[in-house]
Each structure stands twice: as structure tokens, then as C-alpha cells.
Amino acid sequence: MSAFSPKLIATKFSERAILFGNIDPREKDRIRYGLEWGISGFYQIALTLLIGYSVGIFMETLLVLTTISSLRLFAGGAHFSNFNYCLIASVSLIIGIAFSGPFLLHIFSNVNTLLLITYPILLAFLWNYAPVLFKKRNKKSNREIQQAKHISITISAAFMLLSFCLPDIYALAIYTSLFFQVCTITPFGIKIIHFIDSKLTKRR
């Protein structure tokens, strides 16, 4: 395990917190999980924005990162089991979407029509499948799950409305971000990601 891996750092910090702080040892796993989640997020944000700035697409990258991370926070979604694969996949996806705007403009001549047709479909998928929590689902009450669903839909609707107020290249960045994030909560998207993950895991 890498010395800079979020899991290792979070484990060491949680152990020290229990050892030197007045903290119930039963809280260790919750502390470790929270730290691991925060460190992983920091790595992703820092690396993504650094690359986006370096290649001259900082604003597009920031918009894509904000859209995907805001929705994923409440809607959940499938991911790779290995942190390094997750990091590479997420950064590549965000930078790829940020880069894709000019190319998509050549494909879709009427962006608003595309958005009006597909946005209701994305909202329907969110209503049916969000949130995707996997192991955490059993720890959440039905009220919390429904609340996460409604927040996911509200966040998506807010970004959708925003996209109609922005230039087409930014509107497409929001649209593509929502599209790919919603795909990770659908049964088909989950199967694809888990299939790729199983192949990558076997190669390790």
C-alpha cells in the first residue's frame, strides 16, 4: 500500500485519534471512513484542477468537477474498488468532458433542443435509481434515502436550469457531466463499471 494512499493515512490518523484523544474506540471506523473520503476527494480535486489549469481549460474543468461531484455526493454511483483506478478514471473523465465541448458543438447544431429532450430522461433515471449506496444502504433509513433522492434531483435540476443560461460550450459541459454521472447509477452502467473493475482486479 502506498504511503500516500488515503486508506493508509486515514487509518494512521484514526488510530492516533483514538490513542491520544478522548474518543470511543468504537468510533474508529467512522473516523477512518470520513478521513479517507476527505483525503480521496482532495487528491481528485487538486489533480484535476492542476491538469485543467495546465492545459488551458480551467473553467471548463471546474464546472465539470463541480457538477459531477455535487450530484455524486447525494446520488452515489458505481466506482472501481481500487483507489488508483478510481482516481485515474475520475480525473480522465472530467478532463475528457472539459475537452469535449468544441467537438460536441460540431455534432449538435441545436444544443437547447438536445437539452430539452434528454434532461427529462436523466431526471427520470434519478427518480428511479438514486441514490446508489451499496454497502451504506443498510445503514440509512428510508427517510434518509428519500431525502438523498430528492436532493439529487434538485441539484440536477439546478444545473440543468443553469445550462440554459450559459454559452453552448458550458451548457454541453454540464449536460455531459450529468449524463455520465447518471449512467453510474443505472443497472447497465453499474454492470459495465463492475465488469471493467473485475478485469482490472484480476490483472493485479
Q: What is the pLDDT of residue 37?
A: 83
Q: 76 φ, ψ to 5°?
A: 70, -155
Q: What is the pLDDT of residue 123?
A: 98
Q: What is the pLDDT of residue 30?
A: 80
Distances (CA, A) of 12 to 36, 85, 86: 11, 22, 22
Q: What is the pLDDT of residue 195?
A: 96
Q: How many helices (H) and strands (E) does the chain have?
A: 8, 0
Q: What is the pLDDT of residue 93?
A: 98
Q: Residues of the chain whose pLDDT is less than 70?
A: 1-3, 135-138, 204
Q: What is the pLDDT of residue 124?
A: 98
Write down the pTM of the prediction: 0.90
Q: What is the pLDDT of residue 51?
A: 98
Q: What is the pLDDT of residue 137?
A: 61
Q: What is the pLDDT of residue 2?
A: 67
The residue count for the chain: 204
